[in-house]
Amino acid sequence: MNASSKRRGLWLVLIPMLLWIGLLFVLPHVKLFYLSFVSRRGGEFTLANYLYFFKNPLYRRIFVRTAVFSTLVTLLTLVVSFPLAFIITKVAGKRLKAMLLLAVILPYWVSELIQAFTWMVLLRESGVFSYLLQRLGIIHHPVEFLYHDYTIALGLVYTSLLFMTIPIMNSLDTLDDSLIEAAYDLGANFWSTLREIIIPHAAPGIMVGSIMTFMLNLGNYVTVTLLGGKNSLWFTEIIYNQFIIRFNQNKGSAFSVILLTFSVVFVWIVLKVTKQDLSEAM
């Protein structure tokens, strides 16, 4: 096969992906970007949509809350996922390994919407948890577990657990067990081995998992709205309101661009600060 026909073949294979990205990702974002810079009536160039965001303290606060909350939930997911990934790859025997892995994957057999509904059944005032705790005598009247920040955190950790656990498992898989033994042999304890050997080795996996989890949290709508209720104060809700309730596509677009820009810049900064290379990490 010569070089030019090879290149033709490559393009042919790439066509579905290019169409996918072009039609469903690039084009809508170009439109979104365009809409964010024009006025709702008349359609002339304006920065008013952006200024509206920056002038409104409520929106700014919700934005900051969403960013901080997403970051905290990402860290929380990491804290839950890392021991899980470590146990699955390094500690568990064959059976336990399969069981744990299944337990992590199983929830994804149903959609995020159904997962959220399940949490609602469990956590609402007349739900399973409230009932059980009353029967056990721990609480004495029905308690509403829904519509709290901790409920949102719980739901978000649950929905992104897999995306954090799998990349960390991948990176831990390549860690030679004798490295851990060598560290112990040289006098290290559990924490110093974790800090100096295991985490540095798993860093690319932690990075990939954290980026995915952070993006999923930041852009989440279903879980946040259903478990957090009307007052969950998540930025995606503000965007939704602009588009659907107020029919203001231009402000909605501007808010979307702000969220998108923030997430890209934030990830870029984190990568720079931790000296990770995205292509290497992925």
Partner 1 sequence: MSPEIDVALVNVTKKFGNLVAVDNVSFEVPKGSFFSILGPSGSGKTTLLRMIAGFEVPTSGDIYIGGQRVNDVPPNKRPCNMVFQRLALFPMMNVLDNVTFGLRRRGGMSKAEMERRAKDALARVGLQGLEKRKIHQLSGGQQQRVALARSLVLEPTVLLLDEPLGSLDLKLRQSMKLELKHLQARTGTTFVYITHDQTIALAMSDTVAVINRGKIEQIAPPEELYRRPATHFVASFVGENNKLTGGRVLAVRPGPDPQVEVDFAGLRMAGRAGEDLAVGDTADLFIRPEMISLRPGKHENGLLGKVSEVNFDGSHSLVVVDLVEAQRPLSLNVKIQHTEDAPEVQPGDVVTLSWRWDAANAFHPVAQPSTEAEV
Residues that bind partner 1 (CB under 8 A): 176, 178-179, 181-189, 192, 196-197, 200-201
Minimum Å gap between C-beta 195 and partner 1 is 11
C-alpha to C-alpha distances, 159 to 152, 186, 245, 264, nearest whole angstrom: 11, 40, 27, 21
What are the tokens at 50? Answer: 């952006």
- In the three-class reduction of DSSP (H, G, I as helix; E, B as strand; rest coil), residue 221 is classed as coil
What is the spatial distance between Cα 31 and Cα 22, in angstroms, rounded to a whole number? 12
Q: What are phi and psi of 147, to 5 degrees?
A: 65, 35
- In the three-class reduction of DSSP (H, G, I as helix; E, B as strand; rest coil), residue 11 is classed as helix
Minimum Å gap between C-beta 185 and partner 1 is 5
Indicate the residue among 65 and 201 with the shorter CB distance to partner 1.
201
Indicate the residue among 189 and 231 with the shorter CB distance to partner 1.
189
Indicate the residue among 184 and 240 with the shorter CB distance to partner 1.
184
Minimum Å gap between C-beta 197 and partner 1 is 6
Nearest-10 Cα torsion for 267, 204, 89, 84: -30
C-alpha to C-alpha distances, 55 to 38, 58, 263, nearest whole angstrom: 18, 9, 21
Minimum Å gap between C-beta 93 and partner 1 is 13
Indicate the residue among 44 and 177 with the shorter CB distance to partner 1.
177
What is the spatial distance between Cα 263 and Cα 141, in angstroms, rounded to a whole number? 42
Indicate the residue among 56 and 192 with the shorter CB distance to partner 1.
192
Minimum Å gap between C-beta 234 and partner 1 is 38
